[in-house]
Amino acid sequence: MPRLKESRSHESLLSPSSAVEALDLSMEEEVVIKPVHSSILGQDYCFEVTASTGSKCFSCRSAAERDKWMENLRRAVHPNKDNSRRVENMLKLWIIEAKDLPAKKKYFCELCLDDTLYARTTCKLKTDNVFWGEHFEFNNLPSVKSITVHLYKETDKKKKKDKNNYVGLVNIPIVAVTGRQFMEKWYPVSTPNSNKGKSAGPMIRIKSRYQSMSILPMELYKEFAEYITNNYMVLCALLEPALSVKNKEEMASALVHILQSTGKAKDFLTDLMMSEVDRCGDNEHLIFRENTLATKAIEEYLKLVGQKYLQDALGMYRQSTDPFK
């Protein structure tokens, strides 16, 4: 396996640097390669390589560059990845808001999976509620047993007595949020003084979903991919009347991702849009306003291709104007 350069200054891995070390994974059996959330290092587009000798973090210039490095490293460590059956674990989670906290304080959360820190929210001021509305997504996770969200208040550096900034925690067993549908609810915060008072304590609203996906060798998907590529309109016409709105979202997402990988996503969307126009006929006011596979597919495609554009166009402006940074 080629030797990888470590960038201590968080410069791009592809940039020349004199202060680098070689990372040799050729003799390693268990190597974990995962993205690192920007809230942990204060740097975007980082990933971590964990081996028997320890962990090292690397920084890239973009999400695409980071993902390419991670994929190439995983293939180097596991060259038969595509030819073997495997399980991939993924978590999507929103830390939405908290209530019943003291006013005029700023609060933030730390997200841990099995006691390992994966991300932090920004620090937000308590008004009516503390609203974060922050989304976290993790793929290629190891097997996880629990999700823990730790709640903190920002300490006032001017007050020497203001040292105890820990509020409490929410612990969610992973089995409680495993499945196809998202689980959203208010969770009570377990505080150090939970049993001392009679009044209700703080609560955090969290939306989450954990999935373990069994993936077959890629060879077994070829016939299915060919069928989807050549018969997507027939498939949509047959299944749409029988699908709920939620199932339409799932199907549209799957079709968009499959056909994007085969280079047919644009043709698929064009055909689906024209079919939608023909279906509505003289009812122009209904075009693209109903919960159809066409509208769901367009939404998914915009998410797929528009994320990088929005980050490039608005990312620096958002960071420079964030009052809570």
Note the pLDDT tens digit of each residue in 63-82: 889 989 999 888 888 888 88
**Across the chain, what does the average pLDDT equal?**
84
**What is the structure's pLDDT at 75?**
87
Q: Is the pLDDT score of 182 beyond 50? A: yes
Closest by CA to 118, choosing from 182, 34, 188, is 34
Mean local confidence (pLDDT), 238-246? 92
- Of the spans 3-7, 147-151, 223-227, 299-303, which averages the highest pLDDT? 147-151
Mean local confidence (pLDDT), 239-260? 92
Q: Residue 128 pairs with which residues in a beta bridge?
A: none
Taking the C-alpha atoms of 12, 15, 19 and 21 in order, what is their torsion angle to the nearest 10 degrees?
70
Residue 60 DSSP label: -
Q: Where are the alpha helices (DSSP H) in the chain?
A: 38-41, 63-77, 222-239, 245-261, 265-280, 293-321
Whether the CA torsion 60, 61, 67, 72 is positive or negative: it is: negative
**What is the structure's pLDDT at 315?**
67
pLDDT digits (tens, 9 = 90+) for 18-63: 333 556 666 667 888 889 999 998 888 899 998 888 888 999 988 8
pLDDT digits (tens, 9 = 90+) for 202-223: 999 999 999 999 999 999 999 9
- Give the containing element (helix H, strand E) for 314: helix 293-321
In this prediction, residue 319 has a pLDDT band, given cuts at 50, 70 and 90, of low
**What is the structure's pLDDT at 163?**
58
**What is the structure's pLDDT at 172?**
97
